[in-house]
């Protein structure tokens, strides 16, 4: 699978807003995008209707938030946290290896991929935990099966809910508890009866909630009244409609209040956009406990050096922008970001300058509340499994257990279907 364009590559913000039927390039009717008195009134009403707990309270000062950064495709961990002196690494990766003078050194014989300059700075400040050798028994080399395992937190293929979806099932019904960016909510945040709310992948407040002609605002209110109908699916449609009003108003108010989080001269791409939406919500005091952003394009079967460098550069710019932005607000100090992917990659490079699917990988946990450092054992590049892949020594559910207990602040065992010991990174 080659790298994917961000939707921004293909669309550009103006066209995208127009395509949604609002703003500059509206559908072939007039009046949709102009800001009339009715429009201004509608905006005011929206802000009023938004969640009144937007101002951070004292208890929020210590409140922790989990941000999931899902990287799709299988990011190559071996070229992310690089054992640059290791003879086996040098031999098997050959022309595809990262050189000693390229890495950003962080420990004896280990360095970060050169694109990760912002994360390196956060590492130096003690805010980055890197857990090494993360995986699960009997690694699955299928994208979908392995990602499903990570999202379900189970190697049982019949589990269709996610580890945080199951938390949503047991923690009430407020649609603002978990917010995912983009129209499709990943399995991790889907429970039996509930799922995270989804925000639009756009930093424009208007994209989250349309204001404009008063006729539309009326329509919007009526969505709330179309309720229980004949079938379960129709109920689901109705409920998603009424939730969207509350969530849309809240997101609109948050993005209206805050400015987008960016870093000068660096492009965080679509991932940066998503983390910016999340950061702005956090700064605005949106009460969500969990957020989710995602990025694809990591399935580097070919041309890996270039593709991964670009991908990691975007990730780094996005993460840097997020934490620089959150710096302004002490109540955002409890924000913890997890960067994870469905598997690592094959140690031996293929002939297309790429790698096939692998197993054990690194995860990054970043935030001011994090105890920075290396966790887990560095996998032995000379001792591989029967498919030529790195062997794990930390079960990924230990990472989840730690995040559930110390960030989401709930008991992990019922949600993970078993006890997994926590790690010390928080």
Partner 1 sequence: MSPSERTLLAHLYNRAGFGATKDELNEAELKGWDACVEELIAGLAGSGGDPPPAPKMARMPQQNNNMYNEFMELVDWWVDTMVTTANPLREKLVLLLHNQFPTAISGVGWASMMYDQNQLFRTHGTGPFDVLMRVVSKDPAMMLWLNTAQDVAQSPNENYARELMERFTLGIGHYTQSDVHNGARAFCGWTINYHNGQFMLQDWAIDNNMKTFLGVTGDLDGYDIVNIVTHQPACAPYVTSRLWSWLAYPVTPDNPVVADLAPAFAKGLNVGDLIASMLRHPAFVSEQALAGLVKQPAEYIVGTMRRLGLTSKDFQQGQLDGILASLGQELFNPPNVGGWGHNGYWLSTASSLARLQVAYGIAQVADVSELEEMPVWARIEWIANHLGIAFTERTLEALSVMRDYPQQLLALALISPEYVVN
Between residue 277 and residue 336, which ones bind partner 1 under the rule CB under 8 A?
296, 299, 301-302
Pick the binder of partner 1 from 75, 203, 204, 208 (CB under 8 A): 208
Stretch that binds partner 1, among 95-103, 235-243, 330-338, 370-378 (CB under 8 A): 235-243
Query: Cβ(397)–Cβ(338) under 8 Å?
Result: no
Pick the binder of partner 1 from 209, 211, 276, 308 (CB under 8 A): 209
Residues recorded for the chain: 426
Question: In the window 158-197, what residues touch partner 1 (CB under 8 A)?
Answer: 175, 180-185, 190, 195, 197
Question: In the window 115-144, what residues touch partner 1 (CB under 8 A)?
Answer: 141-144
**Measured between alpha carbons, how far is 189 from 182 in angstroms, rounded to an integer?**
13
Would you count residue 95 as binding partner 1 (CB under 8 A)? no
> How far apart are CB 385 and partner 1 at their closest, in Å?
11
User: Three-state SS for 142?
Assistant: coil
Would you count residue 20 as binding partner 1 (CB under 8 A)? yes
Q: Tell me which residue has tokens 């660096």.
A: 266
Pick the binder of partner 1 from 198, 295, 337, 415 (CB under 8 A): 198
Query: Cβ(274)–Cβ(186) under 8 Å?
Result: no
Pick the binder of partner 1 from 155, 324, 350, 422 (CB under 8 A): 350
**Measured between alpha carbons, how far is 284 from 254 in angstroms, rounded to an integer?**
5
Pick the binder of partner 1 from 38, 88, 90, 238 (CB under 8 A): 238
Would you count residue 22 as binding partner 1 (CB under 8 A)? yes
Query: Cβ(165)–Cβ(195) under 8 Å?
Result: yes
Which residues are registered as beta bridge partners of 364?
130, 339
Would you count residue 351 as binding partner 1 (CB under 8 A)? yes
User: H/E/C letters for each residue in 232-243?
Assistant: HHHHHHHHHHHH
Pick the binder of partner 1 from 10, 44, 107, 413 (CB under 8 A): 10
- Count of residues near partner 1 by CB under 8 A: 85
Stretch that binds partner 1, among 74-82, 232-240, 255-263, 311-319 (CB under 8 A): 232-240
Q: What DSSP state is assigned to residue 220? A: H
> How far apart are CB 137 and partner 1 at their closest, in Å?
15
The 10 Å CB-count burial string (b at 16+, else e) for 360-392 is: bbbbbbbbbbbebebbbebbebeebeeeebbeb
Pick the binder of partner 1 from 91, 173, 237, 413 (CB under 8 A): 237
Would you count residue 265 as binding partner 1 (CB under 8 A)? no
First to last CA, the chain: 35
Question: In the window 379-408, what residues touch partner 1 (CB under 8 A)?
Answer: 387
List the one residue out of 415, 310, 299, 358 whose CA is nearest residue 66. Answer: 415
Pick the binder of partner 1 from 39, 165, 248, 285 (CB under 8 A): 248
DSSP element (H, E) containing 89? helix 87-93
Stretch that binds partner 1, among 47-55, 63-71, 283-291, 343-351 (CB under 8 A): 343-351
Nearer to partner 1, 267 or 385 (CB): 385
Question: In the window 55-74, what residues touch partner 1 (CB under 8 A)?
Answer: 72-73
**Measured between alpha carbons, how far is 95 from 306 in angstroms, rounded to an integer?**
12
Pairing of strands 290-295, 65-71: parallel
Pick the binder of partner 1 from 5, 40, 382, 419 (CB under 8 A): 5
Stretch that binds partner 1, among 49-57, 117-125, 207-215, 333-341 (CB under 8 A): 207-215
Question: In the window 23-42, what residues touch partner 1 (CB under 8 A)?
Answer: 25-29, 32
The 10 Å CB-count burial string (b at 16+, else e) for 24-54 is: eebeeeeebbeeeeebeebbebbbebbbeeb
């Amino acid at each position: 699978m080659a790298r994917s364009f961000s939707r921004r590559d293909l669309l550009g913000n103006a066209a995208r807003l127009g395509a949604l039927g609002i703003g500059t390039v509206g559908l072939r009717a007039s009046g949709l995008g102009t800001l009339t008195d009715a429009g201004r009134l509608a905006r005011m009403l929206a802000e009023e209707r938004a969640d009144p707990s937007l101002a951070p309270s004292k208890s929020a000062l210590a409140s922790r938030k989990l941000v999931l950064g899902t990287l799709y495709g299988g990011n190559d961990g071996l070229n992310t946290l690089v054992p640059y002196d290791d003879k086996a690494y040098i031999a098997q990766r050959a022309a595809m290896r990262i050189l000693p003078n390229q890495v950003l050194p962080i420990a004896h014989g280990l360095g970060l991929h050169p694109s990760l300059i912002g994360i390196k700075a956060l590492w130096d400040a003690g805010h980055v935990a890197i857990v090494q050798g993360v995986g699960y028994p009997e690694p699955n080399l299928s994208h979908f099966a392995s990602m499903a395992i990570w999202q379900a937190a189970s190697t049982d293929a019949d589990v269709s809910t996610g580890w945080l979806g199951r938390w949503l099932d047991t923690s009430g019904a407020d649609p603002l508890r978990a917010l995912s960016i983009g129209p499709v909510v990943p399995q991790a945040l889907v429970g039996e009866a509930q799922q995270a709310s989804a925000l639009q992948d756009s930093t424009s407040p208007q994209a989250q909630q349309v204001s404009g002609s008063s006729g539309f605002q009326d329509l919007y209110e009526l969505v709330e009244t179309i309720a229980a109908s004949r079938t379960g699916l129709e109920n689901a449609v109705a409920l998603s409609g009424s939730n969207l009003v509350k969530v849309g108003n809240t997101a609109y108010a948050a993005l209206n209040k805050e400015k987008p989080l960016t870093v000068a001269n660096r492009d965080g791409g679509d991932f940066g956009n998503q983390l910016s939406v999340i950061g702005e919500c956090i700064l605005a005091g949106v009460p969500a406990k969990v957020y989710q952003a995602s990025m694809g394009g990591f399935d580097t079967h070919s041309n890996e050096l270039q593709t991964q460098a670009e991908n990691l550069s975007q990730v780094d710019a996005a993460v840097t922008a997020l934490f620089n932005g959150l710096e302004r607000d002490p109540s955002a100090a409890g924000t913890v970001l997890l960067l994870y992917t469905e598997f690592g990659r094959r140690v031996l490079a293929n002939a297309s300058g790429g790698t096939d699917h692998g197993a054990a990988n690194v995860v990054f946990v970043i935030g001011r509340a994090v105890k920075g450092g290396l966790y887990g054992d560095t996998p032995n590049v000379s001792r591989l499994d029967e498919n030529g892949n790195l062997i794990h020594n930390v079960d990924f559910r230990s990472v989840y257990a730690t995040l559930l207990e110390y960030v989401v602040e709930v008991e992990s065992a019922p949600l993970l279907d078993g006890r997994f010991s926590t790690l010390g990174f928080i």
